[in-house]
Amino acid sequence: MGDPKPAEECGVFGVWAPGEEVAKLTYFGLFALQHRGQESAGIAVSEGNRIMVVKDMGLVSQVFDENALNSLTGHLSVGHTRYSTTGASEWKNAQPTYRATTRGGLALAHNGNLTNTDELEAWLHQLDADANVARKDSMDSTNDTSLVTALMATYEGSIWDAALAVLPRLEGAFCFTFLDQSTLYAARDRHGIRPLVLGRLERGWVVASETAALDIVGATFIREVEPGELIAIDAGGLRATRFADADPKGCVFEYVYLARPDTAIAGRRVHNVRVEIGRTLAAEAPVDADVVIGVPESGIPAAEGYAQASGIPYSRGIVKNAYVGRTFIQPSQTLRQLGIRLKLNPIRDVIAGRRVVVVDDSIVRGNTQRALVRMLREAGAAEVHVRISSPPVEWPCFYGIDFATRAELIAPGLTVSDVCRSIAADSLAYVSVEGLVASVGLPKRRLCRACFDGVYPAPIPTAAARAMRLPVPAPTAPSIVAAP
């Protein structure tokens, strides 16, 4: 079986800019977010009287060509690039989702994962029953995004009012960009688990999952969309309100692996954080060695930091094939397994005869590291010492990273020595939770660390909580669900 890296669900982008080619701006914005999902891509554009949606399976460059983009005319747009965590990898689950409303239409794109979909589905059915409506199209897809779109579309008033009615009922992680005929909207869950930022164009506004997407379209970063905040942008300007009290719990794994290194989150440049994690890892887990190498791409800054703090020379020891996507992107297990070998290749002259420290960002099942250690030994490494720039992943994520059960993970039930023997390394060490938090530079209470320590900031699905013997919260309880 392959060993996919932790996979985030999606990237979202939105632009309101009269006089600009908004579809092309969105296209380039999605290019900057392609790492957040490679299964499907889509863009919705409004020209005031109608909303056009183009979406399909594949990369952004495969879904859109010049003709498709030229057909998407208007002054506001939302876009999406998807990796599935809820719903199958098929066309009907591609985003943005669209629903007709009494005032026109609604197109919505989502990054994250909702945890109370059973409750929301029951609410939708009740709304339909109260209105004596049989909505054949309410749930024609199998993801939580379509459910939210259907809920908002049931309201006869404005999309703003519909959002204020629906958003407080959602649990889990969500960053939304959505539009009607005239207005661009953005919203972020009360914990701000996934990133979402606001930028300014000369003649408009942009919202995006990462600041790197602002950079690529020439937008100036203004601020983050606040946790629990709803924003609307139209000809009257920008307006914002709170739909929930903020309790920031940003995903710490964004810093370790998920986000681009040139992105800034909560005022911290991801590249700099990764270098600092490497320095911390060198202090916590020193070793006698001849060279430090990093696993491309997210392991490289941490390897540089490890080398700086340890005094061991850093060298580029592994080449990544730029034309092979992240191995987790491929839904086929066979393709994942092939992807490990296709993707990485050691540089023998750097490795042969040397004691090597290889720095990677995480271990999920262990198969990638096992193959990597084997490749380094075949390249002539005298010793292979594995250093990981995150703590052991021991708990599943319910907020948009694709490992859903403890059985999928190698760390639960095994000691570090056990894992080291499993991957056939000479030594293995992870950065500590405390060291990771200190490297990020935010208070521990402001970071979601659930995959490392089992402390969940938002309620998780009841069945999962019971299976893991965690307390089952009330449906709308805001309290933290903690591991016993």
Averaged over 433-455, what is the pLDDT? 97
Among 12-21, 158-167, 266-275, 399-408, the range scoring the smallest mean pLDDT is 399-408
Residue 32 binned pLDDT confidence (cut-offs 50, 70, 90): very high
Question: Quick check: 193 and 448 in contact, CB under 8 A?
Answer: yes
Q: Give the residue among 291, 289, 302, 285 at the shortest CA–CA distance from 439.
A: 302
Mean pLDDT estimate for the chain: 89
- For the stretch 40-71, pLDDT in tens is 999 999 999 899 999 999 999 999 999 999 99
The pair of structure tokens assigned to 441 is 């530079």
Any catalytic annotation for residue 10? Answer: yes
The pair of structure tokens assigned to 83 is 């990796």
Q: Taking the mean position of all CA atoms in its chain, how far away is CA 377?
A: 33
- What whole-number percentage of the chain has pLDDT above 90? 74
Which 3 state secondary structure label does DSSP give 434? helix
Looking at the chain, the domain(s) classified CATH 3.60.20.10 span: 10-248
Beta strand pairing status for 97-101 and 104-114? antiparallel
Which 3 state secondary structure label does DSSP give 450? helix
pLDDT greater than 80 at residue 297: yes
- For the stretch 209-218, pLDDT in tens is 999 999 999 9
Question: Quick check: 52 and 118 in contact, CB under 8 A?
Answer: no
Looking at the chain, the domain(s) classified CATH 3.40.50.2020 span: 272-442
Q: What is the CATH number of domain 272-442?
A: 3.40.50.2020
Q: How many CB atoms lie within 10 A of CB 273?
A: 28
Within 8 A by CB and 6+ apart from 155, the residues are 101, 161, 162, 165, 166
Q: Taking the mean position of all CA atoms in its chain, how far away is CA 221?
A: 20
Beta strand pairing status for 291-294 and 355-360? parallel
Q: Taking the mean position of all CA atoms in its chain, how far away is CA 22?
A: 24
Task: Look up the pTM and report it.
Answer: 0.89
Domain spanning 10-248: CATH superfamily:
Aminohydrolase, N-terminal nucleophile (Ntn) domain (3.60.20.10)
Omega of the bond prior to 96 within 30 degrees of 0, cis?
Answer: yes
Catalytically annotated residue among 10, 175, 397, 451: 10
**pLDDT at residue 133, rounded to an integer:** 61
